[in-house]
Structure 1
Amino acid sequence: MERDHRVIFAVPALSLVEQTVSAFCGEGLGCIGVVQADHVLTDPSQPVQVCSVQSLARREKPEAALVIIDEAHRMFASVNEWMTDPEWANVPFIGLSATPWARGLGKYYDDLIIAARTAELIEAGYLSPFIVFAPSEPDLSDVATIAGEFHQGELSDACNKSTLVGDVVATWLARGEKRPTLCYGVDRAHAEHLQQRFLEAGVAAEFVDAYTPVEERERIFRRFRAGVTKIITNCATLTTGVDLDVRCIVDAKPTKSEMLFVQTIGRGLRTASGKDKLIVLDHAGNHLRLGLVTDIHHEHLDDGKPKKAGEDDRERKAPLPRICDGCSAVMPRKAAVCEACGAVREAKCEVDAVDGELVELGSGTRAEKWAPTASEKREFFGELRFIAAERGYSDGWASHKFREKFGHWPNDAWTRSAGPTAPSLKTRNWIRSRAIAFAKGRRANGET
C-alpha cells in the first residue's frame, strides 16, 4: 500500500464482507472498496478491495500486487482457477485458515506457515479457555462411512431419536448455565427437532440453515445478542462468518472431519468481556474420536496424494482424551485431576482383577468372568494400530489380534474410529505372550 499497490482480500461469505471492513477500519485502514453486488462502499480506486469470492467469479478481477484468500481451506473452484491463471503467475497469494488441512491444498500453496497454535493463542489470551463435557453419544455402529465421512442419511437416523434429543436438552439445562449457545445438528430435521425440544423446556431457541433469508438471519442474530434468544440450532451453516458472543457449544453432529470439528468448536473460542470460558457439550463423541482441538494440528499441506497406511503428518499425535468418571468432563489422557470437578483419577493397575469370593473346591461355583467395556475394547484396538504402524504391519493385523483377544472382529464404527495410541505395558506383554505361544505351537508341530 505504501508503494500504491492494490491488495485484494477475498472472503467466502457475504457476512464476512462486513466483518472484514469493520476489522480494517478498526485498525485505521479506511481506504477500502468493496466488490460485492451493489455495495455502498464500491470504489475501484481504493488500494484495498474487500471482495466476495462469488462476485469475483462473475466479474473481471481488479489488478492487484497481492491477493489474500480468507478461509483458504474452503478451496472454491473459481479461486483455484484464479491461482493457476498464467496472467496472475507473478502475483503472490496468501491463504488464511485456522484449519489448513484440506485435501489437495498443497497443490495451490507452496508453504504452510504456522503463526500460532490454538493452545498458544488461549494461553496468550487471544482465544477463550474451554471445558468439555461428553455425557452421551449416539450408537454409530450401523452408520456407514462414505469418502471418509459418516453417511448423512444414516447418521441422521442414528442421532434424531427422542431419547438422545431429550438428553441434549437435559444436559444443557444442567451444564449450560443458561449461556448464549450455538447447537449443531446433523441435518434440518435433527436441528429443528432440537429447537422444538428446547422450546418445550421453556428455553428461547431459534433455527437457522442455509435457506434462512439473510434479513431473517440478521433478526435472529440481533435477538441472540440482546439475550432474547438463548439458543440457535443450525445445520451446516454457522461454521464460518459468525460474529456472535457464544459461550456454549452443543455439538450433536458426529463427524470424522478434523476441519469441521475444529471450525465448530472455534465458533465459541472468541473472547468477550466477562467471558471466563467456553462450555462445550459433546453429544457426538467427537472429542473421543478426534481429540481436543488444542491437540489437532498438522505440519504440512496436503498435496492430494493418497496416504500410506499409518502415515500422519502431525508432529506428535496426542493420545485421545478420556472422560472423568465423576462429572463426564473430557480430560487429557495423562491428566491426574479433573479440572471441572477436582476428582483425582486413580491409576489403573496393569493386571486384570475381578471381585469374587472364596468357594469350596468342587462346589461348581466360579468367579464371574471379566467383561471388557466398549471403551476398553476401543482403547485396545488403538494400541494395536500403534503397534502395527510401529512394525510396518497392515491394519488387518490389528483386527486379527483384536479378534484373538475378544473373540469377534472390530466391526463397529466407534471401535474402528480409534486412532493409534501408545500401548500400555500390559498390551505389549500380551502381544509378546501371543508370539511366544505361536512359536511354541510351531515347535510342537515340528515346524521351524
Structure 2
Amino acid sequence: MGQLRDLYPHQQEALDQLRQSIMAGKSRPLLQAPTGAGKTVLAAHIVTGIRRRMKRVCFVVPSLGLIDQTFDRFVENGIDPADMGVIQGDHHWRRPQAPIQIATAQTLARRDLPEVDFVVVDEAHIRFDVVSDWMAAKPEVKFIGLSATPWSKGLGKFYDDLIKPVSLSWLIDNGYLSKFRVFAPSKPDLDGVRTVKGDYHEGDLDERVNQPKLVADIVETWLARGERRPTLCFAVNRRHAKALHDQFSACGVASEYVDANTPRDERDAIGKRLAAGDVQVVVNIGTLTTGIDWDVRCLILARPTKSESLFVQIIGRALRTAAGKDDAIILDHSDTHMRLGMVTDIDFDLDMGRKDKPSARKAKEKSALLPKCCPSCAALMPVLSKSCVACGYEMPILTGIVEVDGDLVEMGRDGRAAGRVIDMLAKMPRRSVYAQLNQMRWQSGKQRGWVAHKYRAIFGTWPSNSFHDHEIEDPSPEVRAWVRSENIRWAKSRQARNGAEVIDAV
C-alpha cells in the first residue's frame, strides 16, 4: 500500500466513529459526510483499513462516470493500482482476483457478485435493488454506506447506524467550505405541476420554466449579480438547457453544455476551460451533482426540486474553497430555498419507511424557519434578521397602537369614512393582500398560520398553494387599519371574558 493522505481532525473523528460503530456490533453503518468533507479521502482510508486486516472489499459506485474517477482518486490517496480491479463492461483493468474491486451497481445486477468481506456503497442514498438483495443474501458481509445526504425513504431499513460526525454549517464556519450568498430574483409558477416519485414531473416543469421571459431573466440576473464568476447552471432537461445555453451565447457569454452522454474526457476538458476562464457558464441537467471538484464560484438553480437530497447536492457544487474565493453566489430561479430552506438547516435521521406515524421529517419541516427575501435586492436572509447582509436594507418595524372606542375605518381624502375596510380589502388583488399580511407577520413575530387565518377572514377561503412565505409587500393603510381593528376587537372580547384590561394589539 502507498502513503495515505493525512486526515483533517473532522475526518479522523468520522473514521473513529465508524470504527466504534463496527466494534459495537453494527454491521450496516452509514457515514454522513457533507459535500466537501473529503469523502474520497475517507473512502481511501476505509478501504485501506479493510485491506490491512487482509479482507476483501467491493467499492460500489452509482454511475459509469465514477469508475475511473474513483480508481484515480484511490491511486492519488495512496492505494496501489495492483491491489485494484474494476467490474464494469470490458474495462481494461478487469482483475477478478484483486482484493479491492470497484464496480457500478448496474454491472453488479447483471453478474455474479464478488466474494468479499466488506462492501462500501458510495452515494448510498441512491437505492439499488442489487445492493438491498446482496444485504439480505449475505448477512455475514459488512456494508458501509457513504453519503452527504442519507435521507432516502426507507433507508433506515437497510442501515443500522447513522454516523454524523460533522455538519455542513460547521465546515463552513471553520473554513473547510465556502460561505455563500443566495439571491431569489424570480420564481416559476409551479401550481398544478404533478409530482412523480417525490419530485416534480419533468415534462410539467419544462412547460413552466422553459419560457422566453424566464430564460432571459436568468441570463440578465447572472449578468447583473453573477460577477462573471465561473458558473454552473442546473436546468430541467435538454430542451431547457439548450434554451439557456443559446440565451447566454446570444448575450456574448461563453457557455458549454454537459449531460449524461458527455464523455468523461470531454467533461474534464470543459472543466479545465471553465477554470482557465475560456468558459464562463456550464449548463447541465443533473449530471454535475456529484463527482466533480471544479472551482465553481456562482451557481444558477433553474431547476425546481422537492428533493432535499438533490437540492443539497446541487448547492454543494459551489461550496468548495479555492484561492481568492471569499464566498459563492447562488442565484435561485426555482423558488427551492423558499420551500425547503437553506441547505445549512436541512438534516434528517434515517427514514424507516413507516406509513403509520408522522415522520421526523414532517415534524421538522413544520417547525423550520424558512428564509425571507430582501425586498430591495432579492437576497435571502434568516427570518429573524432585521437588515440584509447583501445590501444593508433595514426591515421596517411596526409600532404598537393605542386602544380607541369603536372599529378603525379607512378615511377618504375628504375626511369621511370610506366604507368598511374589510370590504375594501376583499376587492384588492389577493396575492398582494397575502404579501402585505406576510410582511406584518415577519415584523411582529407571528406564526405562519396567522397569515392564513387573516386571509381567510377577508376572502372567505384559504390562500392558494402558489403563495409563498417570502412574498412580502409594505402594508397599505387599509391592511394596517383592518389588522388594528381585529386586534382591538380581540382584546376587547378577551377583556370582557376575563374581566381584565388586556390590550395586546400590534
Change in CA separation of 1:311 and 1:55 when aligned onto 2, cut-off 3 Å: closer
SS of the equivalent of 2:299 reads: strand
In 2, the alpha carbon distance for the partners of 1:149 and 1:21 equals 32
Partner of 1:393: none
TM-score, normalised with respect to structure 1 = 0.81
Q: 2:435 aligned with 1:404, yes or no?
A: no
State the alpha-carbon separation in 2 of the partners of residues 340 and 13 from structure 1.
Answer: 39
Please state how far the C-alpha of 1:315 moved relative to its aligned partner.
9.8
- Given the alignment, which residue of 252, 268, 274 partners 1:224? 274
Kindly report which structure 2 residues correspond to 1:161-310, keeping only aligned pairs within 5 A, or say none: 161-305=211-355, 307-308=357-358
Counterpart for residue 74 of structure 1 = 126
1:118: which partner in 2?
168
Q: Secondary structure at the match of 2:103?
A: strand
Whole-Å separation in 2 of the counterparts to 1:28 and 1:362: 84
Contact 2:259 2:285 in 1 (8 A): yes
Give the alignment of 1:350-365 within 5 angstroms: 359-360=413-414, 362=416
CA contact (8 A) 2:411 2:418 kept: no
Pairing 1:400-439 to 2, within 5 Å after superposition: 402-415=455-468, 433=490
Offset of 1:257 from its aligned partner?
Answer: 1.5
* 2:371 is the alignment partner of 1:321: yes
Q: Does 1:36 align with 2:88?
A: yes
Q: Deviations over 1:119-168 (max 9, x none)?
A: 11112222221111111111223434455433332222221111111110
Q: Offset at 1:355? A: 12
Among candidates 155, 179, 200, match of residue 205 of structure 2: 155
Task: Give the aligned length.
Answer: 419
Match of 2:396 in 1: 346
- Of 384, 387, 396 in structure 2, the residue corresponding to residue 337 of structure 1 is 387
- Contact 2:58–2:119 at 8 Å: present in 1 too? yes
Q: 1:144 to 1:40 in 2, by over 3 A?
A: closer
Alpha-carbon separation, structure 2, partners of 1:355 and 1:344: 29
- The offset of 1:256, in angstroms, is 1.6
The answer on whether the counterparts of 2:348 and 2:361 sit within 8 Å (CA) in structure 1 is: no
Distance across 1 between alignment mates of 2:172 and 2:269: 31
- Is the CA contact (8 Å cut-off) linking 1:101 and 1:302 kept in structure 2? no
Amino acid of the structure 2 residue aligned with 1:191 = A
- Pairwise CA distance, 1:107: 1.5
2:152 pairs with one of 102, 111, 123: 102
| Whole-Å separation in 2 of the counterparts to 1:186 and 1:16 | 22
CA displacement 1:308-327 (0-9 Å, x = unmatched): 39963549943000112232
CA distance in 2, matches of 1:410, 1:162: 29
Distance 1:150 1:339, change over 3 A: same
Report the 3-state secondary structure (helix = DSSP H, G, I; strand = E; otherwise coil) of the residue aligned with 2:239: helix
Inter-partner Cα distance in structure 2 for 1:289 and 1:75: 25
State whether residues 298 and 315 of structure 1, in contact with CA within 8 Å, keep that contact through their aligned partners in structure 2. no
CA distance in 1, matches of 2:328, 2:52: 40
8 Å Cα contact 2:373-2:470 kept in structure 1: no
For residues 182 and 207 of structure 2, what CA distance do their matches in structure 1 show? 25
How far, CA to CA, are the matches of 1:119 and 1:23 in structure 2?
Answer: 26
Which one of 97, 111, 120 corresponds to residue 59 of structure 1? 111
Does the CA contact (< 8 Å) of 2:181 and 2:379 recur in 1? Answer: yes
Q: What residue identity is the alignment partner of 2:151?
A: W
Offset of 1:260 from its aligned partner? 1.5
Letter aligned with residue 233 of structure 1: V
Which residue pairs with 2:180 in the alignment? 130
Instruction: Tell me whether 356-365 or 180-189 shows the greater mean CA deviation.
Output: 356-365
Alpha-carbon separation, structure 2, partners of 1:38 and 1:174 = 49
| In 1: Cα distance, 2:440 partner to 2:391 partner | 27
Aligned partner of 2:21 in structure 1 is: none
Q: TM-score, normalised to structure 2's length?
A: 0.72
Separation in 1 of the partners of 2:56 and 2:441? 55
After superposition, the C-alpha distances for 1:370-416 in whole angstroms (9 at most, x for unaligned) are 6654445678999999669xxxxxxxxx9777533443333333449
SS at match of 1:33: strand
Give yes or no for contact 1:252–1:282 (8 Å, CA) kept in 2: yes
Residues 22-43 of structure 1 deviation map (CA, whole Å, 9 limit, x = unaligned): 3333332224333333434433
Distance, in Å, in 1 between the alignment partners of 2:205 and 2:60 is 34
Higher mean displacement: 115-124 or 315-324: 315-324
- The answer to whether the 8 A contact 2:338-2:468 is kept is no
1:409 alignment partner, SS class: coil
> Share of identical aligned residues, percent?
44
Range moving further from structure 2, 120-129 or 362-371: 362-371
For 1:323, give the aligned amino acid.
Answer: C
SS in structure 1 opposite 2:52?
A: coil
CA RMSD of aligned residues (A): 3.8
In the alignment, the residues of structure 1 paired with residue 357 and residue 242 of structure 2 have an alpha-carbon distance, to the nearest angstrom, of 38
Q: CA deviation at 1:328?
A: 1.2
Give the conservation status (yes or no) of the 8 Å contact 2:409–2:419. Answer: no
Q: 1:445 maps to what in 2?
A: none
Which region of structure 1 is more displaced relative to structure 2, 7-16 or 19-28?
19-28
Range 315-324 or range 303-312, more displaced: 303-312
- For residues 278-308 of structure 1, the C-alpha deviation after alignment (integer angstroms, 9 at most, x for no partner) is 1100011111111000001113334253553
| Structure 1: gaps of 5 or more residues | 389-397, 419-425, 441-448
Closer, same or farther: CA 232–315 of 1 in aligned 2, 3 Å = closer
In structure 1, the residue corresponding to 2:294 is in which secondary structure? coil
Distance 1:351-1:280 versus aligned 2 partners, 3 A rule: farther
